[in-house]
């Protein structure tokens, strides 16, 4: 289901510019000679940053915050458009990163390429990088607040990918900045550290982490079924230790994106998703 969601979003990013690109009758020769066809407006527009089908709009929570700080105005329709994505984040955490982000899907593929590359070259090194997501997000939002110019979207790879696809299908060209950013991320993760962008640099992912840190839907481990094999720890793309949950130890919930890979690899089925508020109430009743 997660793969299906990721591929569906990627297909939408490709399908929107294909569907809404300039029609053939808007050819340069007709425009030069003054024969302009009647303009048409596509009812499907946008990407993962802001998406619309007719009058129905969806806005990324970080995009809403960025717009609010940059314009210093509260726009009610924009607030309404963020309610569904915000509610999903508050309940499920930053599942956008694991279930919907097309770049996250591509970077999961680079993890496999990185593993093959290391095995073939017999490499053991890994560049360890601290988590700078919150610092980068704060600086970009502060820049937008001071200079009234949104910056987070420029460094949001899913939005960059959507923008590049629009350029490609509508204008038959790519921008240098967007293409270089995406290629640098892929190159670094193949040859150095997999999931480094999501774990250490992504400003929008950092914003979603803050919003979803108190999520109600999260993984849990049944200690009676856990055999301490640690396979769940090895499966986590962010290097987290889900096995700590069996011993009620600390766990970095802000980093966890509910991808479920730890649950899928558990040989005893000890890991499952749980509605935490309901589980807490049940524990109190017992």
State whether 74 and 187 are in the same domain.
yes
Residue that is written with structure tokens 């066809």 in the block: 37
The single-letter DSSP state of residue 269 is -
Range of the domain at 262: 216-285
What is d(CA 69, CA 146) in angstroms, rounded to the nearest whole number?
9
CATH number at 264 reads 3.30.70.20
Classify 124 as helix, strand or coil. Answer: coil
State whether 115 and 225 are in the same domain.
no
Local confidence pLDDT in tens for the 286 residues of the chain? 899 999 999 999 998 888 776 555 555 555 555 655 555 567 888 899 999 998 899 999 999 999 999 999 999 999 999 999 999 999 999 999 999 999 999 999 998 888 888 888 777 666 778 999 999 999 999 999 999 999 999 999 999 999 999 888 877 889 999 999 999 999 999 888 889 999 999 999 999 999 999 899 999 999 999 999 999 999 998 989 999 998 888 888 989 999 999 999 999 999 999 887 644 434 333 3
Q: What's residue 185's pLDDT?
A: 94
Q: What's residue 19's pLDDT?
A: 79
What is d(CA 57, CA 55) in angstroms, rounded to the nearest whole number?
6
Task: Sheet containing 56-59: give its strands across.
Answer: 44-46, 50-53, 56-59
Q: At which of 160, 191, 209 does a domain end? A: 209
What is d(CA 37, CA 52) in angstroms, rounded to the nearest whole number?
25
CB 284 within 8 A of CB 266: no
Total structural domains within the chain: 2
Q: At which of 209, 229, 248 does a domain end? A: 209
Q: What's residue 282's pLDDT?
A: 41
Q: What's residue 284's pLDDT?
A: 35
State whether 184 and 56 are in the same domain.
yes
Full-model pTM: 0.85
State whether 249 and 277 are in the same domain.
yes
State whether 142 and 176 are in the same domain.
yes
Q: What's residue 39's pLDDT?
A: 55
Question: What contacts 54, CB < 8 A, 6 or more positions away?
Answer: 43
Q: What's residue 119's pLDDT?
A: 81
What is d(CA 42, CA 162) in angstroms, rounded to the nearest whole number?
16
Q: What's residue 286's pLDDT?
A: 38
The single-letter DSSP state of residue 127 is -
Cβ atoms within 10 A of the Cβ of 125, count?
8
State whether 144 and 27 are in the same domain.
yes
Q: What's residue 10's pLDDT?
A: 92
Q: At which of 147, 182, 209 does a domain end? A: 209
The single-letter DSSP state of residue 123 is -
Beta strands per DSSP E along the chain: 44-46, 50-53, 56-59, 217-221, 271-275
Q: List beta partners, residue 45.
A: 52
Q: What's residue 152's pLDDT?
A: 94
């Amino acid at each position: 289901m997660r793969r299906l969601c990721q591929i569906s979003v990627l297909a939408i990013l490709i399908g929107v510019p294909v569907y809404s690109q300039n029609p053939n009758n808007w050819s340069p020769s007709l425009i030069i000679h003054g024969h302009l066809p009647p303009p048409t407006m596509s009812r499907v527009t946008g990407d993962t940053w802001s998406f619309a089908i007719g009058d129905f709009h969806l806005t990324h929570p970080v995009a809403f915050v960025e717009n609010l700080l940059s314009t210093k105005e509260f726009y009610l329709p924009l607030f309404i458009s963020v309610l569904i994505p915000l509610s999903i984040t508050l309940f499920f955490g930053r599942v956008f990163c694991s279930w919907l982000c097309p770049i996250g899907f591509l970077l999961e593929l680079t993890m496999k390429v990185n593993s093959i590359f290391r095995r073939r070259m017999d490499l053991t090194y890994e560049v360890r990088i601290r988590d700078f997501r919150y610092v980068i997000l704060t600086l970009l939002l502060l820049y937008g607040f001071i200079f009234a110019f949104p910056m987070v979207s420029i460094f949001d790879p899913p939005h960059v990918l959507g923008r590049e696809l629009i350029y490609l299908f509508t204008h038959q060209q790519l921008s240098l900045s967007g293409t270089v950013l995406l290629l640098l991320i892929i190159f670094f993760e193949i040859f150095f550290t997999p999931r480094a962008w999501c774990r250490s640099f992504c400003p929008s992912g950092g914003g979603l982490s803050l919003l979803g840190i108190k999520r109600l839907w999260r993984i849990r481990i049944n200690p009676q079924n856990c055999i301490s094999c640690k396979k769940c720890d090895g499966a986590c793309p962010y290097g987290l230790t889900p096995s700590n949950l069996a011993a009620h130890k600390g766990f970095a919930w802000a980093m966890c994106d509910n991808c479920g890979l730890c649950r899928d690899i558990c040989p005893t089925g000890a890991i499952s998703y749980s509605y935490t508020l309901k589980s807490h109430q049940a524990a109190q009743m017992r």
